[in-house]
Each structure stands twice: as C-alpha cells, then as structure tokens.
Amino acid sequence: MADLWNIGPIPFVGKSDPRQGLGFRYYQPDRVVAGKSMAEWLRFAVAYWHTFDQRLVDPFGDGTAQRPYDRFTDPVELALAKVDYTFELYTKLGVQFFCFHDRDIAPEGDTLRETNAILDKVVDRIAELQQATGVQLLWNTCNLFNNPRFVAGAATSPYADVFAYSGAQLKHSLEIAQRLGAQNYVFWGGREGYENVWNTDLKREQDHQARFFQMAVDYAHEIGLDAQFLIEPKPKEPTSHQYDFDAATTIAFLKTYGLDGDFKLNLEGNHANLAGHSYQHEIRVARAAGLLGSLDANQGDKLLGWDLDEFPSDLYETTSVMWEVLDEGSIGPHGGLNFDAKPRRTSFTAEDLFRSHIVGMDSYAAGLLVAAKLHEDRYFENLVAERYGSFDSGIGAAVEDGSASLADLETYALDLTQRQLVDATRSDHLESVKATINNYLVDALAEA
Ligand code: XUL
Ligand code: CO
C-alpha cells in the first residue's frame, strides 16, 4: 500500500489503553453482533467534502487545515492527485464506502460542458481506484447551492434558466452515479427554501421541486440507474426555512406529490437537533412511514445552536440510533453511516482526520454493542408491549380492528369512574428507564 499520509493502517487495539489514539477499541469489522458483522451493520462512509476539501473555516476565521496535498497549486492537478489520497485513507481506516457532491471532486469550468469534461477525468480516476480497492460509492449528489447562480435556489429558483442549468447538472451527476455504481443518490435541498415568504410563491416552488425529482426518477429509469433516491431533511441554514424541514414534513411532501414510492430519507443527527428533535425521533418517524434510507452520522453541540457537523462521540445517541437500526434490520435497503462531519478548527493536522474517523467509528461500534444487548434482552420491546397491552383485547382490540364506533365507546365509558380511569394508567418510572440505559451502556461496554 502506498504511504501518502504517513499514517496507518489503523489496527484494532482493544481496551489496552483508555487514551484514544490511532487504534480501534470497539470496531472490528468481522466481529458478529446480532447475526451480522459490524461492517455489515454499520457500513461507514467518508464524506469527501468535509474530509478532503474542508479547510476548517468558521465565520470569523480562515482555514487552519494542514493537508499533505496542499503543495498542488493547479486545481485540476490537485483534484486528480487528491483522489489517490482519498482511497488510501478509506483503506487505511477500513471504511468500505464514500460519498461526494459533483463539485467536491473537481473544479468548475466556465460552461457546464467544460465543467463536465474536467469532472469526467476525475471520475475516471475514481473508477480505477474503486476497481483496485473494492471501496464503493454509498451515494453521490449535486452541489446546487455554492455558486452565486443558486442565490435564490436551484429547483425552486424563480429563474427558469437556473432551473434548466440545475437539471442539466443533475443529469450528468446521475450518469456518474450509474458509472460508479452508487447505491443511493441524495438530494439535500441546499437553498431550496425561502428567506422571506412575502416574495415567495411557495406552492409554485414546491411544484417545481417535485417536477425536478420526477425528472430524476424518469431519467434514472431511462439509463437503468437503480440507486435508491434519498432526500435529506434540514430545517434551516442556509435559508431561514428549508422545504425539507424534517422527516415528517418531507414525508408529507413526498406523499402529496406521489413520490414516496421512489424516495426515502437520509437523516442527519445535527439536522434533527436544529429541527428541535432527537436523532432517534427522526429515524423513528421515517421508520414508521417505511421510508428509512440512510444516515448522515454527526452530532451538534448543546452550547452552540448551529450545524456544526461534529464527529459523533455521544454514546447515548449512537446507542439510540443503533437500537433503531437493529429493530429495523438494517439502515434502509442500501443505507450506511456517512460521516458528514469535520474535525474542529483546532484539530488541524492530517492525523486528526484519522483520529476523528476512528472516534466516530468506535462510537458507533460501541453503540451497536450496547443496543444489541438491549435488543437481546428485549428490554424496550417488553416495556412497550406491556405499555400498550390494553389494546390487545376488549375495547382496545375493538378500536384497533375498526369494529368499535363512538357509540360503542360511549356504552363502554359512560359509567367509568375517575378512580377506575386513574387506575387504568401506570407510572412509566422514566427515571429508572433512563438509568437502565446507563447500566446497559456501562455493563455492555465492560463486557465488550
Ligand atoms: C448540509 C449537509 C449536506 C448533505 C449533502 O448540512 O448535510 O452536506 O449531506 O448535500
Ligand atoms: Co448531510
């Protein structure tokens, strides 16, 4: 293996030393947990934009990132050289997948024709290295938000030329998905929302967005692309209101336009928090609709209310996510855990890219181990079955099977006393439930 990074491969070191370094304590790809290997459950992916392009800027400061390919000054030469670094990082970490936006991997030309020509050269190199390493494309997507032409959106731009350009860009991006064997294709609605509702034709913009999605479905059929289409909800940033606000809003949109047969959801932890939800809530809502597609694994910061894209390290959250995944059987049909995350601005070395992925991978592996133990003991399954047990027979069963009317409920309830109704309820003992999760966390990881 080449040694462009001068680091790795990253070994499994187990629990020999509590100080986290360049080794995995929990993640063992071949270790079987709940009937599948860790690698099969977790399907980690590296996000090209954060890991290889992000300079670690913030609104008050320039980038601090130090990368081994910084010596390349020509943008096309840099783009081509960088691909080698990316595949070496995937293989040294033992990550099986990657994700990218079209504009992450290559610089733009003046026209789309020129841009596509540059892009295709880089795609050629990616295809060669996929072939050589076996690393697969979890998903790709279009960047329809960075360039000034997208100032008022892409598919929801009020300017028809911008809509047309966006569709043309999407077409080529779908061809790349086909060429590289993408398992999913993601739409994150960058600037698809509004700054101010007074100057916005909300209905017309959403109709346009739906047309855009339908065109993607039609073209995928035409070229035989069988990637799962995904929409990634986010409530705000960069616009003050994004149309794909959260899982529930996006599901309503998909059903309104009859697109729910062709799209599922890609859910992100930090986006869930921005919408005022837990990550687990968003996943549960998608599961309830049969629309869980994939996961962007990251976390926010309780003290800062913005999309910080931190690498996941909160074991309580990774446990809840992996519990949902275990209960579902997989992360959607072809989903994975994409680290849509960047190291902090103060973690600027190339080694920090490895360190931060190791932390994310270990945190999810640990979460999987804890969730598997909870699942094996059926702790929540039993608790929930008992909580809703009154719907298994009698009047509850008549409600669920549709045989009870309001008149039947009146006959049943008219003479129930306050005491009888209060006695029908049970304490949830929620504090003990939370402590039980803590106990599972500590015990399962002590045994791991
Ligand atoms: C933005 C975000 C995107 C999508 C892909 O917050 O999460 O990077 O994941 O466009
Ligand atoms: Co994301």
pLDDT tens digits, one per residue of 367-410: 999 999 999 999 999 999 999 999 999 999 999 999 999 999 99
pLDDT at residue 273, rounded to an integer: 97
pLDDT at 305: 82
How buried is 323 (Cβ within 10 angstroms: 0-12 exposed, 13-18 middle, 19+ buried)? Answer: buried
Q: How far is the CA of 385 from the centre of ligand 2 (A)?
A: 34
For the chain, the farthest-separated pair of C-alpha atoms sits apart, in whole angstroms, at 82
**CB-based contact 156:192 (threshold 8 Å):** yes
For ligand 1, whether the C-beta of 53 sits within 6 Å is no
Q: Is 277 a catalytic residue?
A: no
96, 135 in Cβ contact below 8 A? yes
Beta bridge partners of residue 101, listed in sequence order: 141
Distance CA 299, CA 115 (A): 34
If you measure from the C-alpha of residue 268 to the centroid of ligand 2, how many angstroms do you get, rounded to a whole number?
6
Question: What are 301-307's contacts with CB under 8 Å, separation 24+?
Answer: 305/274, 306/237, 306/274, 307/234, 307/237, 307/270, 307/271, 307/274
375 noted as active-site residue: no
Per annotation, catalytic residue among 50, 101, 271, 334? 101
Report the separation in Å between the CA atom of 188 and the middle of ligand 1, taken as the mean of its atom positions.
6
Tens of pLDDT along 251-280? 999 999 999 999 999 999 999 999 999 999
Pocket probe mutation, ligand 1, options 296, 311, 339, 342, max atoms within 8 Å of Cβ: 296
C-beta 85 within 6 A of ligand 1: no
Helices and strands counted in the chain (H then E):
17, 12
- In a 3-state reduction of DSSP, which class is residue 407? helix
**Phi, psi torsion values for 59, nearest 5 degrees:** -60, -15
Q: Which residues contact 165 (CB under 8 A, 6 or more apart)?
A: 112, 149
Task: At 172, list the tokens.
Answer: 């080529």
Q: Beta strands 241-242 and 193-194: pairing type?
A: antiparallel
What is the whole-number distance in angstroms between the Cα of residue 124 and the centre of ligand 1?
Answer: 24
Q: What single letter denotes the amino acid at residue 368?
A: L
Torsion of CA 342, 346, 348, 352, to 10 degrees: -60
Q: What is the pTM of this model?
A: 0.98
Residue 268 Cα: closest atom of ligand 1: 7
Pocket of ligand 1 contains residue 268 by CB under 6 Å:
yes
CA dist 279 and 275 (Å) reads 10
Segments in the chain below pLDDT 50:
none
Q: Which helix (H) or strand (E) holds 294?
A: strand 292-296
Q: If DSSP codes are grouped into helix, strand and coil, which group holds residue 97?
A: strand
- Report the b/e string of 259-285 with b at 16+ CB within 10 A: bbebbbbbbbbbbbbbbebebbbbbbb
